[in-house]
Amino acid sequence: MIGRKKDSYSGWYIVIAWLGIFGCNLVAQDGGGGRTGDNDLMSSAVELNPPNQRLYHFDTAATDTDPSRALGAHNNGTLQNGINLPDNHANYYHFRGPDALDTDDWGTLRLVNVGEAVATDWGDATRPCVFEDLAPPTRFGILDLSRGSEVTRTFGGVYPPHAWHQNGRDMDVRYLRTDGREDPLDISGPDSVVYDNFATADLMTCFLSYRDVDRIIVDTEFVKIDFGGDPVVLHDTTHRDHFHISIVDPDGTAN
């Protein structure tokens, strides 16, 4: 049961902690928190993830280059050389629903890195992006990224039932539950009694601590979180069973 909330805290604590977070650039980390040491932007987990190994032959002892490219726009684009999100992590789970294995979890390396980096923060004992909830974290649930096929080497494109998610820059994340179950949650329905808006506020803050994140889409009517008027947050009534993270175009918008 997550329920231990901070009733008060020092303003200085926030300033200091937040200064540490501001401007976080992505540094690939292993699930355990250590850097890979090969001076590239990929964690060992990403490099050793079987689909990525078969496609790109990444080497954990060498400096690999990022092959992924986001082409076009979120709602009209494709993904070139998609990177597969590792399915298992100590601090997140990937729920693929009716989709076949490794067909719904492809993104640009930058997007995959955001997911991994937030997961690492989420499990960090010091939890630098956590302000609301001091309870031990439960794993958060990642839903769809972009579609892809290792066999045909095609990634991205129109992905019903999503309007976006086309060029490897979008990720859906479940709202967190107080009962710790890794199940769906509709914050507008009766199971909203187990909705943990404290932990969810922290998780969103963790995502937002990375400069790459340029949009968080939620149903602001039901989410019970004060976003302080942050323009990064966009209201959408179809986001009651998950929130949506999107990132800036890693390779620019000219392609």
Partner 1 sequence: MRLRLIGNLAGVIAAIWLPGLASAQTAPTFARLQPGNRVEILDLRNDTWRQVYRSDAWKTDALSVGPSGDRLALLAWSEGQVADHGYVVPPVPHLTVIDTSGRILSRPVAGVQRYAWCGTNCIVYITGLYVESDIGFVPDSLAMLNVTSGQIVALPKPPTPIGLTWGAFDSAAYVKNLAREGEAVIYRIDLRTFTLEATAYKDHLFSPTGRYYMHRQERSDTVIIYETSTNTPVDVSRLWATARLIGWGSPTEDVLLLARRPASPKREKRERLPFRAQRPGQAEPELTYQLYDLPSRRIGQTLSGRLDRSVGPDHQRLVQRGGDYQTLQAR
- Binding residue for partner 1, selected from 93, 149, 180, 251, defined by CB under 8 A: 93
Written as one letter, the residue type at 122 is W
Residue 108 found at the interface with partner 1 (CB under 8 A): no
Residues 6+ apart with CB under 8 A from 114: 26, 171, 207, 210, 212, 213, 245, 247
Residue 11 found at the interface with partner 1 (CB under 8 A): no
Determine whether 8 is exposed, middle or buried from the number of CB atoms within 10 Å of its CB (0-12, 13-18, 19+).
exposed
Name the minimum Å distance from CB 146 to partner 1: 12
Query: Which positions from 176 through 195 interact with partner 1, judged by CB under 8 A?
Result: 182-184, 186, 188-190
- Binding residue for partner 1, selected from 65, 88, 238, 255, defined by CB under 8 A: 238
Residue 248 found at the interface with partner 1 (CB under 8 A): no
Nearest partner of 70 among 122, 145, 20, 160, judged by Cα: 145
Name the minimum Å distance from CB 37 to partner 1: 30
Residues 164, 153: Cα–Cα separation, whole Å: 20
| Coil, helix or strand at residue 29 | strand
Q: Encoding tokens for residue 31?
A: 């699930």
Residues contributing to the site for partner 1 (CB under 8 A): 5, 14, 18, 22-23, 73-75, 93, 95, 97-98, 129, 131-132, 141, 143-144, 158, 160-165, 172, 174, 182-184, 186, 188-190, 197-198, 200-202, 204-205, 208-209, 211, 215, 217, 221, 224-232, 234, 236, 238-239, 241-242, 244, 246
